[in-house]
Amino acid sequence: MAIDDVSRRKFLAFLAGSPLFIAAGIDHASLARLVSGSSSDRSKGFDLIDQAAKQPHLIRAANQALDVFDFEPVAKHNIPAAHWGYLITGTDDDATITANRDGFAKWALRPRRLVDVSHVDASVELLGTTYSTPIVLCPLGSQKAFHAEGELAVARAAKARNHLQVLSTVATTSIEDAIAARGGPVWFQLYHLPDWNQTKQLIKRAESAGAPAIVFTVDLIGGSNRLTMFRERLADARQCADCHIGGQPMPGVTGRVDGRDNRRKPALSRLVPTPAMPEVGTPTWDYVKRIRDTTTMKVFVKGLVTAEDAELAIEHGASGIFVSNHGGRADNTLRSTVECLPEIVKAVRGRAIIELDGGVRRGTDIFKGLALGANAVGVGRPYIWGLGAFGQEGAEAVLAILRKELEMVMRQAGTTSISRITPEYVVART
């Protein structure tokens, strides 16, 4: 092989992982196939480079969006650099973010024909509540960093479109205010604190507010090497003493709950002094049982990617599992969540609710997750793109687009309800 060919392939492979390609909706697997193909394929690869390198067109209203990717460049334009870095960062070289997207391309659809699809029902029931679709608004912290109304705007969007919202421990809105804006219960995502009495306060507050479920997140206990976030922060010259100690923006510095400055995080800023019960070591599986024994809420464990841990979660009292790698921002496993899903479904055997998140951007992604056994499918960054671009209207538009796409593929496949989306509608690509 000529040196030029080697250089060309390396160049294309590098570009495939860049934000330009992610924003353009071009997945790494597709470009890689072109890179290793014929001269005609390589020519197509260069056409993709040209397409992605063009200055993105900024839509001026939420109703102009054709897909969720149309919101990303507008949000980037509106959101300060350090806050944008917090949103887009993965860990190390961000390769697991790319892997999450590529994972969906490893599954193909097997649609059926001549089915009466004049009526399609995308609704789903979770813990006794019926939602319009299985699309979950995943917990994502500090949403007022992306829009002044933050989680309140998202809660109103969830209400308008009847979606499940999960509120983060490090939200910039209290769970009471989020539930009021949602007009119904939201689930509460839990980061444990080094003191059990403080963690118990978080649990009891969510329970008193009316949350039916607590989602214990376990994939950041070891921290996270968020290099993209640190690099973006260097480009932000603002002084933000009202929000950050010392004035320099530093959201999510450690990848864990950062106790240095919780002024804008109501769940953490309103903790009541209690007798200290410091933890010895980091949580183990007994911690799940401890949470379960502390509350009447259903307990979910978020961040599981193996059958072994799914089994342990159920053994220790979990009612549900979030198959998740924190959107590629926890650890750099290079394994997509949709690739992890089948082994977890096999291990669970219907004994718990399964949610899938990570890299979900299109209706076909949602359909594949459901076909592989998930009961619900979550999105994170896309609804924040909508929020950052146009506030509540943008978040609503993202949900509307994803629902429209999901219902379209349901009709195309001949599946008239969520329960009819089964493994026979997907096949692994070879």
pLDDT at 260: 65
Catalytic residue among 28, 83, 147, 326: 326
**Residue 3, by phi and psi: left (phi above 0), alpha (psi -120 to 50) or beta?**
alpha
pLDDT digits (tens, 9 = 90+) for 373-393: 999 999 999 999 999 999 999
pLDDT at 16: 55
pLDDT at 386: 98
pLDDT at 22: 55
pLDDT at 205: 98
Domain regions of the chain by residue span: 1-55, 107-428
pLDDT at 257: 59
Q: Report, as ranges of residue numbers, the positions in the chain whose pLDDT lies below 70.
A: 1-29, 31, 35, 49-55, 241-261
Distance CA 256, CA 261 (A): 13
Distance CA 420, CA 124 (A): 12
Distance CA 198, CA 273 (A): 8
pLDDT at 219: 96
Task: Kindly report the length of the chain.
Answer: 430
Tell me, yes or no, if 119 is annotated catalytic: no
Residue in 132, 134, 211 with CA at minimum distance from that of residue 171:
211
pLDDT at 1: 44
Contact of 318 with 299, CB cutoff 8 Å: yes
Contact of 93 with 125, CB cutoff 8 Å: no
Where does 57-191 have alpha helices with state H?
72-78, 81-88, 95-104, 150-161, 175-182
Residue in 97, 14, 90 with CA at minimum distance from that of residue 49:
14
pLDDT at 413: 98
Contact of 32 with 16, CB cutoff 8 Å: yes
Matching CATH number, 107-428, of 3.40.640.10, 3.20.20.70, 3.40.630.30, 3.90.190.20: 3.20.20.70
- The reply to whether the predicted model has a pTM over 0.95 is no
